[in-house]
Chain A
């Protein structure tokens, strides 16, 4: 286990370094986008004096390295500045919008693993047969159409023509739930309102499924590819020669060694959904961080852009970290490798 701890510490350090790099990069890029943030924030009726005053307050006339200095020292105190769009601290905005997006992405991630991996296993077990071909077509459809297309299709089919699911939003307006954590599924349980919980879950399903579809396809295809290769390994023949039932061979002997390469991609997909959630959030009127991020980019709201991107990068890094840890735990060769001198 010492190896895994070492790996964790090393990876956390590298992640922090990456985060510093990302902050510099996004800070520069946000400032290169054409347009004067102060002018956009104040609107067309503002006088030049007002604009100059705001530019001064925002340090926009200082050299860029100095600006970064201000930004970095505030960041270390946990302050991301004020949003020109909402006129509130960016940290507050993010705290409000992030849970909705995380809830959506976590739900999508769970669907991806719970549907994608079993589809891949079934596909590999019945390689070349009807079930395999069927699953491959479904997976290809999932991968090839972007999630907003699926969002519109699912919404039309299962919320409009066949009103099985609510059309939009996170929860019915009749429910008034204290937002302790911002995760509605948790908040409804905290106040013990089971009906509200079910309602929130109901609202969550379609957007999460739309967001997950490409990941489901990806996970199924990868798992199938890795598993069909594993099936040709001698240890699978050995398992068959010892008479283990077919499903046990698939689950225990072929799936576990195949999971390791799939995990990396699943982790990346998971983090990428944070960014991709935007259109799905827009279609389902989901008050999440992705929508916020796009709104602030269009407004050239510098602090909010940098804050949002930093949070999403951090999520990427955390997802990667978790995947690396899982791989280390799954793969005995990493766990028990001799440490480099």
Chain B
């Protein structure tokens, strides 16, 4: 046994269609240690979001999917758990933060009721008053100055940045060991995204939460994560410490990704779309 929070070994996933089966993950392996912040970077459709959903155990129950490989969460293999046991982990030991905070919060319930529901996942008998008290405390941690007003609000009455902070608070209130962040704040503007990410960074540092950070945005990943994996067409193409990969990208795809980041200082224009992608299928590089 090891003390990794998450260990994925040779994970493959296919979707069965009517005529053919589409393979979307090819032997993906990655690890996240305790208190480690690990990013999975790739373009849209590269398989990063499905990886997150497999870790949560959301895709295993569907009859269109075929999964092979191992996902060990805190040393226990998800495949050996029942659907109910996997569900029991969600919201208590691991939780998720979504891309668009406004549409990820339920539109017809007040924030306080949504906090209450989440708290009940861990302690089913918790009262609304207790929930309010705890939520007020954690909303203070995410720099919300009027927690009472926010708790009484519906998501549509709050700004995107507010909702994002509410969602971060909700994701951490049950003190999970693993926080999965799927492109957090991509729907927000850049400054707000930057603020909330810094906030999230401090929160998880303080609490010692491991983070599985999914993003296409290299700039964000560079600031946030300790280590990163680059994924292309369902394959991990490069992995290593964040500063190592940025200092010395080895894989052609990683280099192309880095070149695609628009920069103000270099004076370059936005780079061209690359047509020849054959080099991107080169074998994996490990730092």
Q: Which residues of A contact B (CB under 8 A)?
A: 233-235, 237-245, 252-253, 256-257, 330-333, 336
Contacts of B154 in A (CB 8 A): 332-333, 336
Contacts of A332 in B (CB 8 A): 107-108, 110, 154, 156
In residues 9-43 of chain B, which contact A (Cβ within 8 Å)?
A: none
Is the Cβ of A243 less than 8 Å from the Cβ of B92?
Answer: yes
Given contacts A234-B98, A332-B154, A241 and B108 within 8 Å (CB-CB): no
Q: Whole-angstrom distance from the CB of A246 to the nearest CB of chain B?
A: 9
Task: Report which of B88, B103, B108 forms a contact with A243, defined as CB distance below 8 A.
Answer: B88
Q: Whole-angstrom distance from the CB of B167 to the nearest CB of chain A?
A: 8
Task: Report which of B95, B103, B110 forms a contact with A242, defined as CB distance below 8 A.
Answer: B95
Mostly helix, strand, loop or mixed at chain A's interface? Answer: helix
Is the Cβ of B100 less than 8 Å from the Cβ of A234?
Answer: yes
* Residues of B within 8 A of A (CB-CB), count: 28
Q: Whole-angstrom distance from the CB of A121 to the nearest CB of chain B?
A: 16
Is the Cβ of A234 less than 8 Å from the Cβ of B104?
Answer: yes
Contacts of B109 in A (CB 8 A): 256
Contacts of A245 in B (CB 8 A): 87
Given contacts A233-B103, A235-B105, A243-B90, A333 and B96 within 8 Å (CB-CB): no
Contacts of B117 in A (CB 8 A): 242, 244, 252
Is the Cβ of A243 less than 8 Å from the Cβ of B89?
Answer: yes
Is B261 engaged at the interface, CB distance under 8 Å to the other chain? no
Is B121 engaged at the interface, CB distance under 8 Å to the other chain? yes
Q: Which residue of A lies closest to B118 (CB)?
A: A242
Given contacts A241-B96, A244-B121, A333-B156, A253 and B106 within 8 Å (CB-CB): yes
> CB-CB contacts of B90-124 with A at 8 A, as 1s and 0s?
11100110111001111111100000011001000
Is B142 engaged at the interface, CB distance under 8 Å to the other chain? no
Given contacts A242-B91, A243-B87, A336-B154, A237 and B106 within 8 Å (CB-CB): no
Residue among A244, A245, A336 facing the most chain B CB atoms (10 A cut-off): A244
Contacts of B96 in A (CB 8 A): 238, 241-242
Task: Report which of B91, B99, B100 forms a contact with A241, defined as CB distance below 8 A.
Answer: B91
Q: Which residue of A lies closest to B105 (CB)?
A: A235
Contacts of B88 in A (CB 8 A): 243
Is the Cβ of A241 less than 8 Å from the Cβ of B103?
Answer: no
Residue among A234, A243, A330, A336 facing the most chain B CB atoms (10 A cut-off): A243
Given contacts A237-B98, A332-B154, A333-B156, A242 and B108 within 8 Å (CB-CB): no
Is B204 engaged at the interface, CB distance under 8 Å to the other chain? no
Contacts of A233 in B (CB 8 A): 103
Is the Cβ of A257 less than 8 Å from the Cβ of B121?
Answer: no
A-B contact pairs, 24 of them (CB 8 A): A234-B99, A234-B100, A234-B103, A235-B104, A235-B106, A237-B58, A237-B98, A238-B104, A238-B105, A240-B90, A241-B56, A241-B96, A241-B98, A242-B91, A242-B95, A242-B117, A242-B121, A244-B121, A245-B87, A256-B108, A256-B109, A257-B107, A333-B107, A333-B154
